Amino acid sequence: MLRVGWGRAEFTPEGPVPLAGYAHARERTFRRVRDPLFARAVVFEDGETRAALVIYDLLLVVDELARGVRERLRDAGAFVMVHATHTHSSVGGFVPGLLGRLFAGAHRPWVLPRLVEAGERAARVALEGLAPAEVRASSVPLPGLNGNRRDPRGPRDEELTVVRMAREKDLGVLVSYPAHPVIVGERDHHAVSADFPGEVVRLLERDVAFAAFLQGSLGGVDVLFPADPGMTADRNLSLMAEPVAHAAINLARLAARGEEAAAGVRVASEEWDLPRPDPRPFFEDQGVAGLLGGPLAAVLGRLVPASLRTARVQGIRVGSFAVVGTPADLGVRVGLAIKARARRAGIAHPVAASQCDGYIGYLHRAEDYRLTPPPSHRGMACYENAMSFFGHGAGERTLEAACRVVERLASAETP
């Protein structure tokens, strides 16, 4: 029998704390709370396997956060995946080192324990609420809400995926749509916010007991951001979140009448050693790359935390739905390849998720580094190149690991 539980725990800051998401010489501190921040958890259990998905309204997941949550939940006997929605308006101060200082403010030792504690609280509520449930998933294209910020001719992932979790007395949904949550960060720079993923959840929870947002591919993926000088953060969030929430609730209703409900839970994980840092901002067809690529890589590589020694890809499958979590801003072409591999393996509704269980930068396919994009997109593309901490082959290496995780999720063998 499949059982599902869910829970939430708030961690909105009460006092001054830096915000994470933008590089600043001086800290970017919050001036107001636009909307609260939560850790949300969903637990799936089939009698043999228990899997916990812990989701934060946070920029990213550092390895210390993932390890802390797993350690706190060790007694629960659960496979644990820790994920961040990648809002650029949540708390910082939990990322050590110079790179962390630039993007998330000076390190505050007290922030990380509070985040770990919030994740554990959410998971404990989910564990206590485990109850028989029917789980069904569905996917549909939802165009017009994102684009390719590296190359206007490049691929897009415009797929909305919804997981409907129906218990006897209540209903929960997981929703995934790839887009960079920078609306509040750009339009209300010093406000605390869960950005559009939080707004989607808020709208959904008018109709269901629980909702959570899974972030998909982020590398090369922008967000609906109208170039209107009078556009406010609130209006922009509505333009982005309302279509996602409306489509998601309708898709959940369709899923209820769709395929057979999920019966079992499968999990898989793969870890590998990382090479030396090698962040290179240029493209292969840029003449300057041969002259400056090596020296720049050496300089930028010193910013990469020395603690980054390994990387991990994890997967959770429940029936026709699976989430494959990567420790990165996952490039759209890599994400599409993971989902295509999953569908060939018989997993109808996969999510290739960014920001899971650690962070090793932006990851793209080898072909994405060959040709320089038009000037309109070049600055962002070079930034993403430089933020590929372990070189232009890291995306291919992660894709290989993700495909092996998919194969194990699709296998008929006992996990």
**Residue position matching structure tokens 């959570």:** 212
222 within 8 A of 381, measured Cβ to Cβ = no
CB-hemisphere CA count at 13 Å for 85? Answer: 32
Digit-coded pLDDT (tens) for 165-183: 999 999 999 999 999 999 9
Digit-coded pLDDT (tens) for 325-372: 999 999 999 999 999 999 999 999 999 999 999 999 999 999 999 999
Residue 387 gets the label, from left (phi > 0), alpha (psi -120 to 50) or beta, of alpha
pLDDT at 254 (0 to 100): 87
* Range with the poorest average pLDDT among 130-144, 287-301, 331-345: 287-301
Query: pTM of the full predicted structure?
Result: 0.96
Q: Is 236 helix (H, G, I), strand (E, B) or coil?
A: helix
Separation of alpha carbons 199 and 31, rounded Å = 20
**In the structure, what pLDDT confidence band is assigned to residue 97 with cuts at 50, 70 and 90?**
confident
Separation of alpha carbons 271 and 363, rounded Å = 16
243 within 8 A of 360, measured Cβ to Cβ = no
Average pLDDT of 140-144?
A: 97
Separation of alpha carbons 265 and 315, rounded Å = 11
Separation of alpha carbons 96 and 65, rounded Å = 12
Share of the chain above pLDDT 90, in %: 85
Separation of alpha carbons 66 and 360, rounded Å = 14
Segment (H or E) for 240: helix 233-256
